[in-house]
Amino acid sequence: QVQLVESGGGLVQAGGSLRLSCTDSGRTFNTGAMGWFRQAPGKEREFVAAISWSGGSTYYADSVKGRFTISRDNAKNTVYLQMNSLKPEDTAVYYCAAKRGGPHTIVVSAYDYWGQGTQVTVSS
């Protein structure tokens, strides 16, 4: 059974960097595309980035393009989100998500498995 666990969140000043990790503790990683989403207080969950099973295809929200990089290491059952040049508006709970199969997508409801989330706070 897929069990996604995020780590790497924290408090950082504007302009700083963080790297989030998402590991399948169920050690199956028998998933297709994976994605990162975020949810700020009072707002809906929004797409951040996604990556295909092979890692050869990635997709980003316009708000993070050029600053964030998604990658995955299937041998380690882990997907990463490198976040650079962080802004206060990036503050949110970040969630990792996985699909059983099919291409990556920005649609929240298309993902089958979710982690518990990790808090990212960017101070000005």
pLDDT value at position 55? Answer: 87
CA distance 111 to 59: 15
Predicted confidence at residue 28, as pLDDT, reads 65
The CA-atom distances, in angstroms, between 51 and each of 73, 112, 121 are 11, 15, 24
pLDDT digits (tens, 9 = 90+) for 59-114: 999 999 999 999 999 888 899 999 999 999 999 999 999 998 888 889 999 999 99
| Res 90: pLDDT | 98
pLDDT tens digits, residue range 7-55?
999 999 999 999 999 998 776 656 689 999 999 999 999 999 999 988 8
Cβ-proximal residues to 44 (8 Å cutoff; 6+ apart), any chain: none
**6, 3, 5, 12: which is closest to 31 by C-alpha?**
3
CB distance 114 to 4 below 8 Å: yes
Please choose, from the candidates 113, 96, 124, the residue with its C-alpha nearest in 3D space to the C-alpha of residue 8: 96
